[in-house]
Amino acid sequence: MERAEITHEYQDIIRATDKGSLPEIDVLEQVMGRITELEDHRRPSLKGAMRRTTVLGSALTLILMISVTAYATSEYIQIRNKAGTVKVQYVAPSDETAGMATSYNKYAMQAQNYAKPGELIAYYVKDNNTSSDSEPVLQFEYKGNRIPSYVDFSAEIKRTGAPELPEVTNGYTFEYGIVSPSIPMTDAEKREPIYQKTLSELTARASKATSGEKLFMMAVPWSKPAFVSGKYSKGGAHISISVNLMHEGKMFVVQEQENKVEKITVAGTEVVYNSVNKEQVSYQYLNWYNEKQDAYYTLSSYGDKALTKEQYLQLARELLE
């Protein structure tokens, strides 16, 4: 109603403007190019800032499952399993970890657009000049799926064999959960029949294509989880419990300068209390390694009421016992 009145009210001014429509523009490539460049150069500070609103998600982006052993390890926190093997290693930010930035990839974006929530898409790019692999490779994109019903979330946990998360914790009730797949990366995973079958199907489609098409993709079934998370709320206060499944790997956690860490034993398990104090923001979160599940837990709180250190430790105790 109000909008209709605008045309009437200002018709003399509208009449005095160009009647033709304004030109269309497309700055997608330029903007994404600049963002990728920014990410490559400024990742540590940007990531730190990003964590202000999504402590859980951003904390996870700093967790890197990489096979690097060249870090100076002595002054950084380590968590070992019963056999004495280091399973979790805090490391200093480095160029190598900064290079883990998610860069803009137009094919990945197309795969994202193609996928339905919860679907894992395998895609193959024909004549991919950006790939350094000589052999044809599949790439994967997963479209996130928030599961708002605890019953459905619990069913997804059972289907994938992921660690269970509670429905209510410390008075915070379940809001939604996420279960994400593990992406095939190792040579053993690439030799699996499902991978090989998908690869041959997509490469066959690519070789038959005559229209200059470059991207070939299909949804693939998945059952191996990589990440499970639950968001819980009490009014405007939220907590997140997230679990990274390590699948016999080793967890490297980038420790920024502003992150003060403290190792504390809770219910017989070593937990790491992280307190990050930056100029504009400060936040805390808790991590621990669960040997039985071979999983790395992150507990964070945000919203209008963050947990105190004691509350964090109490909640960890409840989850560990």
Comparing C-alpha atoms, which of 237, 256, 264, 217 is closest to residue 115?
Answer: 217
Q: Would you count residue 17 as binding other proteins (CB under 8 A)?
A: yes
The Cα–Cα gap between 61 and 286 comes to 15
Q: Would you count residue 176 as binding other proteins (CB under 8 A)?
A: no
Contact pattern for other proteins over residues 131 through 150, marking x by CB under 8 A: -------------x-x----
> Which residue do the tokens 């009421």 mark?
305
- Supply 143's token pair: 């479209």
CB of 304 to other proteins, least distance (A): 11
CB of 246 to other proteins, least distance (A): 19
Q: Would you count residue 98 as binding other proteins (CB under 8 A)?
A: no
Cβ closest to other proteins, residue 10 vs residue 263? 10
- 232, 167 Cβ separation under 8 angstroms: no
- 277, 227 Cβ separation under 8 angstroms: no
Q: Which DSSP string do the residues of 200-247 spell out, in sequence order?
A: HHHHHHHHH--S---EEEEEE----EEEEEEEEEETTEEEEEEEEE-T
Q: Would you count residue 169 as binding other proteins (CB under 8 A)?
A: no
CB of 258 to other proteins, least distance (A): 15
- End-to-end, the C-alpha distance of the chain in Å comes to 60
Q: Would you count residue 151 as binding other proteins (CB under 8 A)?
A: no
Q: Would you count residue 64 as binding other proteins (CB under 8 A)?
A: no
CB of 291 to other proteins, least distance (A): 27
Q: How many CA atoms lie within 13 A of 128 on its CB side?
A: 22
Q: Would you count residue 245 as binding other proteins (CB under 8 A)?
A: no
Q: Would you count residue 304 as binding other proteins (CB under 8 A)?
A: no
Positions that interact with other proteins (CB under 8 A) = 2-3, 6-7, 9-10, 12-14, 16-18, 22-28, 30-32, 34-36, 38-39, 46-47, 49-54, 56-58, 60-61, 101-106, 108-109, 112-113, 144, 146
